[in-house]
Amino acid sequence: MTRELTLSKAVNEAIAEEMRRDPTVFVIGEDVAEAGTPFKVLAGLVDEFGTERVIDTPISEPGFTGLAVGAAMTGSRPIVDLMFGDFLFLVMDQLCNQAAKIHYMSGGTMTVPMVLRTNLGATRRSAAQHSQSLHALVAHIPGLKVAMPSSAYEAKGLLKTAIRDDNPVVIFEDKLMYQDKAPVPEEEYLIPFGQANVLREGRDITLVATSSMVQVCSKAAETLAAEGISAEVIDPRTIVPLDEATIVASVRKTSRALVVDEGHQSYGVTAEIAARIAERAFYHLDAPVGRIGAMDVPVPFSPALEDLTVPTPEAVADRARALCKGGWADAA
């Protein structure tokens, strides 16, 4: 049976199911117990599992992340709750120098089955230190897997897969999507990593989008359809591993591509995916690969300015329209 859940409830349900299934799973982070996190995503878990498995910590991200790495190495499956994705900078040694490398440096004898849950996204009026989208930062590090759910359905399936994975996984949830609803089956399901989802079939252009940008591109595709432009919308689900084959096959069919992501455009996810398309589908392209990311500026606190920094359906439709009408000569 399928019912509608918010993304917040889907995450909560996924964690509860995995904690019931596996006694080695525990949650650790700031305000995760009685408070249920500032976004109330984990509300009620401490009532069922107690404070020994839903562990409130001091304000010390490096401390509790390092503790989780050690616990994962010795038989547990910790879920680290990092209150804001911006705080990744505080745990880079524990995550990137330790968790990501231990399996390799131990000759494959040790694993770190740890999940780091955090968030991304601007337009919450939270200013530059609480509004960043830093998924490209950790995607750059070999040894880490990176998942980016775009709905409640995706959030539950990807999180359950992450918890069961023997590798460290960083999963990013968009802060603005916690109350968005989507159909979620009552029966158990998992979403495999590295398997993209083609949300909408199209023939004229491929829109590759991550996280909340999937909804942005879906709205843009509706606008374009009314004008006779058929856009295919692809959600990679995970950027590490990346389902390159599905993306490339789509672009070879449509001959045009636009990559959309909320991270800063320079040196980010849009650049990586665009490069892979160019390498593997170049002779099928009728126009250069386009990309739209967030502006390369600190996210402003001012609502009027903040709204200008992130991709919108209108911006995506405009760029897709231009790519479909133009070609290589127009880019010269």
Q: Give the residue among 330, 326, 322, 7 at the shortest CA–CA distance from 152.
A: 7
Please list, in sequence order, all residues whose beta carbon lies within 8 angstroms of the beta carbon of residue 201, skipping any fewer than 6 positions away.
232
Q: Give the residue among 17, 31, 116, 41 at the shortest CA–CA distance from 71.
A: 116
130 belongs to the catalytic site: yes
61 belongs to the catalytic site: yes
What sign for the dihedral angle of Cα 91, 94, 96, 99?
negative
Q: How far apart are CA 171 and CA 178, in angstroms?
A: 14
In DSSP notation, 241-274 reads S--HHHHHHHHHHHS-EEEEEEEESTTSHHHHHH
Please list, in sequence order, all residues whose beta carbon lies within 8 angstroms of the beta carbon of residue 224, skipping any fewer than 6 positions away.
205, 230, 231, 317, 320, 321
* Residue among 61, 154, 262, 306 flagged as catalytic: 61
* Residue among 13, 30, 103, 130 flagged as catalytic: 130
Residue type at 193? F
Q: How far apart are CA 175 and CA 123, in angstroms?
A: 9
| Residue written as token pair 């949830």 | 173
Torsion of CA 15, 20, 25, 27, to 10 degrees: 50
Active-site positions read 61, 130
